[in-house]
Amino acid sequence: MKLVVHRLGAIDSTQDEARRLLRRGEAEVGHVVLADEQESGRGRFGRTWISPRGGLYATFVLPGIGLASLRVGVATVRALAEVGLDAKLKWPNDLLVGERKLAGILIEREGDRLLAGLGVNLRDAPLSTAISAAALGITIDRDDLAASIWAVLRQAESEAETLKAYRARCATLGRRVRVVQGEGDAVKGVAIDVDEEGRLLVEAAGRTITVSSGPCEHLDEQG
Ligand code: BTN
């Protein structure tokens, strides 16, 4: 299936545009919305995604697949590796280079479709905790990157294969972490695995705690 690209200039959010197109029957699985910049780009947990010109702001329309958030993360890491950029995943799906954030992923639902939103800092890193491909000396064409992510995503892969590929690229495993669950309940411990539902297993005070969502922070050894 060839990727159908909706290219836009400045818009509110590619997530919102993809949703509008889907509702009007103008987008389907295999379509991606790309914007030059976003005025109301959003991240996980209601955060703002600062979206200046020069970055990749994309929403892929996907079928309701299992482990979608991990799959999109792995596909992005693989596509970046093809152009020589070695990124790792912080659970569940932030792309890091060292400890700095290169890209983020936001999965939302629209009926039985998934809106897989991806922001990659190609030219600028809008925050001090972020990094861009340009700062690493790598120039990446936005449209080429979207196409190679799609090429990876459309390959049939079992959940077991996704999980294996994810674990191999996950920088969180083996690290001390702090994860906030639900209403601000924080867990500190060592991330030991990701289970078959994509949840993070954290060993804390001799117990294994299963975390299904929530912001995850990598701590140093003393943290
Ligand atoms: C995160 O790290 O919190 C996820 C960031 C996701 C940002 C992308 S940019 C394209 C798409 N449109 C949005 O408004 N958000 C996602």
Torsion angles phi and psi, residue 84, rounded to 5: 85, 15
CB of 157 within 6 A of ligand 1: the answer is no
28-54 per-position pLDDT tens digit:
999 999 999 999 999 999 999 999 999
Locate the ligand 1 atom nearest the alpha carbon of residue 58 and give its number.
10
Residue 223 located in a structural domain: no
210: CATH: 2.30.30.100
Looking at the structure, do residues 164 and 206 belong to the same domain, yes or no? no
Looking at the structure, do residues 39 and 132 belong to the same domain, yes or no? yes
Locate the ligand 1 atom nearest the alpha carbon of residue 43 and give its number.
3
For the whole model, what pTM was predicted?
Answer: 0.96
Looking at the structure, do residues 76 and 121 belong to the same domain, yes or no? yes
Looking at the structure, do residues 109 and 28 belong to the same domain, yes or no? yes
The Cα 180–Cα 211 span in angstroms is 9
Torsion angles phi and psi, residue 121, rounded to 5: -75, 95
Q: Which residues of the chain have pLDDT under 70?
A: 184, 222-223
Domain count, the chain: 2
Q: Which domain holds residue 200?
A: 176-218
- CA 57 / ligand 1 centre spacing (Å): 7
Residue 9 located in a structural domain: yes
Looking at the structure, do residues 56 and 96 belong to the same domain, yes or no? yes
Atom 16 in ligand 1: residue holding the nearest Cα: 117
Looking at the structure, do residues 101 and 118 belong to the same domain, yes or no? yes
What is the b/e burial string over 67-104, where b = at least 16 CB atoms within 10 angstroms of the residue's CB? bbbbbbbbbbbbbbeeeebebbbbbbbbbbbeebbbbb
Looking at the structure, do residues 57 and 112 belong to the same domain, yes or no? yes
Looking at the structure, do residues 182 and 109 belong to the same domain, yes or no? no
Looking at the structure, do residues 33 and 142 belong to the same domain, yes or no? yes
- CA 208 / ligand 1 centre spacing (Å): 31
116-144 per-position pLDDT tens digit:
999 999 999 999 999 999 999 999 999 99
